[in-house]
């Protein structure tokens, strides 16, 4: 498949030069800097990076869910099926875009029964009757792998385990049968076994339903397991993109390389073999030129100037001067 070929069909979502600021003031700190990316129908894309680099904001903007205190620059565009997402009527939220939130406990209303909450969404989105919506909510619970859905539907979120709560979160996102599922750190706060189950579930659902998936994670391993394509984000910018297996085996950006080194060894879970020194600079304190420079082992004088996202073969790209010099150092 050529680059021209993908562009021919309208992507499901395309983000063009997305710039987000912390506030209305044009001088306010930039949180996300001219990010452009596209999600094609049925595709599964992972957004990877450390906390605070703008992954979550990017996907929130994709869904048109930006918090009130974050503003989008005028030239930024988020298109859903080729139309600005704000102009879509009815709103694609829920109907076309399902969103699974980072914190299942915080994103599900704690004072309403889970079955009721799912049925409420089904009724709103599908306009079905109360009893049909109820039946559908049980189906959805079953689909996300909750045992004894009828009993669990009567529970309050607080009465469920963390894994069950996240499954409910997925069910809520699926209630409108969306074409795109956005999952923002869906495995935060659950143990490895549950994480594994959830990822398997999400992968399975995507395949069965033919949905597109955007998975946000700080963990490259998670993305590697589920996604076809990966976008590595650092300090508000995309610094590397490409097919997952290619990026994993042949990372071109020193940051990606660092992330891969951080992966637990194949042999034992949870053992960090290496870490990238330093921390992600906070918005507003990004260094000029290459933003990874202060943490980079290969930093060089020319890194004073930003390299730009350099396109590579096989629909790959990386934001590093080194890529022109033929591969990884």
CB under 8 A, 24+ apart: contacts of 164-168: 165/104, 165/105, 165/108, 166/100, 166/104, 166/190, 166/194, 166/198, 167/141, 167/198, 167/201, 168/104, 168/108, 168/114, 168/117, 168/118, 168/141, 168/144
For other proteins, the binding residue among 32, 35, 85, 93 (CB under 8 A) is 93
Q: Which of 5, 26, 110, 326 binds other proteins (CB under 8 A)?
A: 110
Interaction of residue 111 with other proteins, rule CB under 8 A: yes
Q: Is 302 helix (H, G, I), strand (E, B) or coil?
A: helix
- Taking the complex as a whole, the smallest distance from the CB of residue 169 to other proteins amounts, in Å, to 8
As measured in angstroms, the least distance from the Cβ of 239 to other proteins is 28
Taking contact as CB under 8 A, which single stretch among the options 26-34, 156-164, 198-206, 316-324 is the one that binds other proteins?
156-164
Can residue 175 be called a binding residue for other proteins (CB under 8 A)?
Answer: yes
Q: Least Å distance between CB 175 and other proteins?
A: 7
**Measured from the CB of residue 72, what is the shortest distance to other proteins in angstroms?**
17
Using the rule CB under 8 A, is 177 a contact of other proteins?
no
Regarding 1 and contact with other proteins (CB under 8 A), the answer is no
Residues 252 and 318 sit within 8 Å (Cβ to Cβ): yes
Nearer to other proteins, 128 or 306 (CB): 128
312 lies in the binding site for other proteins (CB under 8 A): no
Q: What whole-number distance in Å separates Cα of residue 31 and Cα of residue 21?
A: 5
Q: Are 248 and 220 in contact (CB under 8 A)?
A: yes
CB 13 within 8 A of CB 45: no
Of 16 and 103, which CB lies nearer to other proteins in the complex structure?
103
Q: How many CA atoms within 13 Å lie on the side-chain side of 281?
A: 19
Among 10, 156, 209, 299, binds other proteins (CB under 8 A): 156
Q: List the one residue from 34, 113, 209, 298 that touches other proteins (CB under 8 A).
A: 113
Q: Which two tokens stand for residue 204?
A: 């399975």
Please report how close the Cβ of residue 294 comes to other proteins at its closest, in angstroms: 33
Q: How far is the CB of 189 from other proteins (least distance, A)?
A: 14
66 sits in the region (left: phi over 0; alpha: psi -120 to 50; else beta) called beta
Q: How many residues bind other proteins (CB under 8 A)?
A: 31
Under the criterion CB under 8 A, does residue 159 sit at the interface with other proteins?
Answer: yes
List all residues 6 or more positions away from 294 whose beta carbon is below 8 Å from its beta carbon: 278, 281, 287
**Binding flag, residue 71, other proteins (CB under 8 A):** no
Q: Is the dihedral of CA 87, 69, 189, 276 positive or negative?
A: positive
**Residue 107 within binding range of other proteins, rule CB under 8 A:** yes
CB–CB of 102/50 below 8 Å?
no
**81 binds other proteins per the rule CB under 8 A:** no
Query: Min. distance of Cβ 46 from other proteins in angstroms?
Result: 20
Q: Which is nearer to other proteins, 213 or 220 (CB)?
A: 213
Residue 274: exposure state from Cβ atoms within 10 A (0-12, 13-18, ≥19) = exposed
User: Helix, strand, coil proportions of the chain in percent (round to 5)?
Assistant: 35, 20, 45
d(CA 224, CA 220): 6
Nearer to other proteins, 177 or 250 (CB): 177
Which parts of this chain interact with other proteins (CB under 8 A)?
63, 65, 67, 91, 93-95, 98-99, 101, 103, 106-113, 116, 120-121, 124-125, 156, 158-159, 172-173, 175-176
């Amino acid at each position: 498949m050529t680059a021209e070929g993908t562009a021919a069909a309208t992507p499901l979502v395309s983000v063009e030069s997305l710039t987000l600021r912390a506030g209305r003031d044009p001088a306010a700190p930039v949180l996300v800097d001219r990010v452009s990316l596209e999600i094609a129908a049925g595709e599964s894309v992972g957004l990877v990076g450390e906390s605070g680099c703008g992954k979550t904001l990017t996907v929130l903007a994709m869904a048109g869910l930006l918090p009130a205190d974050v503003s989008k620059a005028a030239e930024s565009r988020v298109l859903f099926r080729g139309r600005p997402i704000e102009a879509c009527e009815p709103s694609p939220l829920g109907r076309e875009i399902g969103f699974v939130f980072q914190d299942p406990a915080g994103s599900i209303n704690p004072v309403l029964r889970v079955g009721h909450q799912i049925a409420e969404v089904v009724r709103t989105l599908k306009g079905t009757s109360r009893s049909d919506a109820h039946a559908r909510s049980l189906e959805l619970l079953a689909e996300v792998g909750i045992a004894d859905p009828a009993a669990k539907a009567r529970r309050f979120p607080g009465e469920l385990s963390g894994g069950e709560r996240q499954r409910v979160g997925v069910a809520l996102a699926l209630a409108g049968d969306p074409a795109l599922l956005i999952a923002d750190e869906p495995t935060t706060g659950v143990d490895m076994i549950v994480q594994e189950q959830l990822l398997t579930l999400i992968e399975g659902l995507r395949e069965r339903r033919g949905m597109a998936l955007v998975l946000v994670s700080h963990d490259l391993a998670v993305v590697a397991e589920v996604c076809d394509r990966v976008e590595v984000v650092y300090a508000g910018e995309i610094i590397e993109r490409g097919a997952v297996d290619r990026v994993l085996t042949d990372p071109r950006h020193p940051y990606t390389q660092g992330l891969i080194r951080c992966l637990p060894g194949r042999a034992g879970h949870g053992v960090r073999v290496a870490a990238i020194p330093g921390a992600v600079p906070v918005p507003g304190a990004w260094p000029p030129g290459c933003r990874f420079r202060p943490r980079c082992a290969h930093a060089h004088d020319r890194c004073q100037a930003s390299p730009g996202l350099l396109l590579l073969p096989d629909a790959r790209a990386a934001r590093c001067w080194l890529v022109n010099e033929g591969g990884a150092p």
